Amino acid sequence: MRIEEELKLDFKDVLFRPKRSTLGSRAKVDLVREYTYRHSHATSKSIPIIAANMDTVGTFEMASALGKHGMHVALHKHYGVDDYAKFFNASNATTHAHAFYSLGILDHDLEKFKQVRNHTGDEIKFVCIDVANGYTETFIDFVKKFRDLFPTITIMAGNVVTADITEALILAGADIVKVGIGPGSVCTTRKMTGVGYPQLSAIIECADAAHGLGGHICGDGGCTVPGDVAKAFGGGADFVMLGGMLAAHDESGGEIVQKDGKTYRKFYGMSSDVAMEKYAGGVAKYRASEGKEVLLPARGPIENTVQEVLGGLRSTCTYVGARKLKDLSKCTTFVRVSQQINEVYGRAQ
Q: Give me the residues that bind ligand 5GP (CB under 6 A), please.
A: 52, 54, 132, 159, 180, 184-187, 189, 220-223, 241-245, 269-272, 290-291
Q: How far is the CB of 242 from ligand 5GP (least distance, A)?
A: 5
Nearer to ligand 5GP, 76 or 117 (CB): 76
Whether 187 is catalytic is yes
Residue 62 near residue 252, CB atoms below 8 Å:
yes
Nearer to ligand 5GP, 140 or 270 (CB): 270
321 backbone dihedrals φ, ψ, rounded to 5° = 85, 25
Q: How far is the CB of 98 from ligand 5GP (least distance, A)?
A: 16
Among residues 128, 187, 206, 218, the one annotated as catalytic is 187
Nearer to ligand 5GP, 29 or 58 (CB): 58
Q: How far is the CB of 19 from ligand 5GP (least distance, A)?
A: 28
**What would you report as the CA-atom Rg of the chain, rounded to the nearest whole angstrom?**
19
Residue 50 near residue 100, CB atoms below 8 Å:
yes
Q: Which CA distances in Å does 269 have to 56, 138, 160?
A: 9, 23, 18
Q: Which CA distances in Å does 257 have to 38, 117, 222, 267, 309?
A: 45, 36, 25, 11, 26
Nearer to ligand 5GP, 177 or 245 (CB): 245
Q: How far is the CB of 35 from ligand 5GP (least distance, A)?
A: 20
Distance between CA 185 and CA 294 in Å, rounded?
Answer: 10
Residue 265 near residue 252, CB atoms below 8 Å:
yes
Distance between CA 249 and CA 349 in Å, rounded?
Answer: 16
Nearer to ligand 5GP, 85 or 219 (CB): 219
Q: How far is the CB of 229 from ligand 5GP (least distance, A)?
A: 10
Residue 207, SS3 per DSSP: helix
Collect all residues with Cβ–Cβ distance below 8 Å to 105 and sequence separation of at least 6. 129, 131, 138, 139, 142
How does DSSP assign 87-153, residue by residue? HHH-S-HHHHTTEEEEE-SSHHHHHHHHHHHHHHGGG--EEEEE-S-TTSHHHHHHHHHHHHH-TTS
Catalytic sites, residue numbers: 187
